[in-house]
């Protein structure tokens, strides 16, 4: 009986209205890119996460607008952010990124937009039937859900740190390579110049001597 109850509770919690999209996109220099999410009813929760994975100083401008073009969130030169909003207006919400501060560098951004309804517990079929078990199981499920969300955020954090570290290492390797190349060319040029100076120093032009 307990197993059946657990199964029914899991099935009841699964169809919660959750719409999520995790994407990675590249934003060129001087480009503005917007993404949209629909909210079906007022009071729904909107989760918005983003992190700049590579490009320049790992920063980006962003803003979030409701269906009435009202700015709910905005930021300049932000590296990452994790926000939760309450949608008070039904309609289409815009999540925009702008790479206006960079004239040459492309930015790679990892972001996640989630629209989730407030969970509502339904009463049992009969008064008092399985109330204690249902309440305990629901609390455990919500607690596990919170722990999983924390693990997910931690994974995103380390993923971002790894990408940024790799980008920095790649950029440093490129700088070291070109510096070494210029240094070698400078040494070769200096050697050729020294040979030429020595050759002209010991060579007399315009005069001839007889012994």
Please write the tens of the pLDDT for every residue from 96-119.
999 987 777 888 888 888 887 645
pLDDT computed for residue 204 by the predictor: 58
Closest CA to 76 of 94, 54, 104, 102: 102
pLDDT tens digits, one per residue of 125-148: 555 555 555 677 777 776 787 778
Q: Which helix (H) or strand (E) holds 11?
A: helix 2-13
Mean model confidence pLDDT for the chain: 77
Report d(CA 155, CA 189) in Å as an integer.
51
pLDDT computed for residue 33 by the predictor: 92
Closest CA to 171 of 77, 57, 92: 57
Rounded to two decimals, the pTM is 0.59
Topology given in CATH for the domain delimited by 2-164: Jelly Rolls (2.60.120)
Q: Which helix (H) or strand (E) holds 159?
A: helix 131-202
pLDDT computed for residue 94 by the predictor: 94
Q: Mark residue 147 as left, alpha or beta (left: phi above 0; alpha: psi -120 to 50; beta: remaining).
A: alpha
Task: Please list the ranges in the chain whose pLDDT falls under 70.
Answer: 1-22, 117-134, 142, 204-211
Residue 53 to residues 45, 81, 112, 129, Cα–Cα distance (Å): 26, 13, 13, 51
């Amino acid at each position: 009986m307990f197993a059946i109850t657990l199964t029914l509770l899991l099935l009841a919690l699964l169809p919660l209205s959750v719409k999520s999209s995790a994407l990675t996109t590249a934003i060129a220099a001087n480009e503005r890119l917007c993404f949209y999410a629909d909210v079906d009813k007022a009071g729904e929760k909107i989760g918005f996460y983003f992190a700049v994975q590579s490009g320049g100083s790992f920063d980006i401008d962003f803003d979030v607008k409701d269906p009435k073009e009202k700015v709910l969130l905005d930021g300049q030169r932000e590296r990452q952010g994790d926000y939760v909003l309450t949608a008070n207006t039904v309609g289409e919400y815009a999540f925009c990124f702008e790479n206006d501060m960079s004239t040459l560098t492309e930015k790679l951004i990892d972001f996640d937009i989630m629209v989730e309804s407030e969970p509502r517990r339904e009463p049992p079929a009969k008064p008092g039937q399985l109330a204690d078990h249902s309440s305990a199981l629901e609390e455990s499920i919500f607690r596990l859900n919170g722990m999983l969300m924390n693990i997910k955020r931690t994974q995103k954090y380390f993923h971002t740190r790894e990408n940024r570290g790799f980008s920095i290492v790649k950029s440093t390797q490129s700088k070291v390579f070109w510096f070494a190349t210029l240094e070698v060319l400078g040494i070769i040029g200096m050697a050729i110049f020294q040979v030429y100076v020595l050759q002209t120093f010991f060579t007399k032009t315009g005069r001839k001597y007889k012994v």
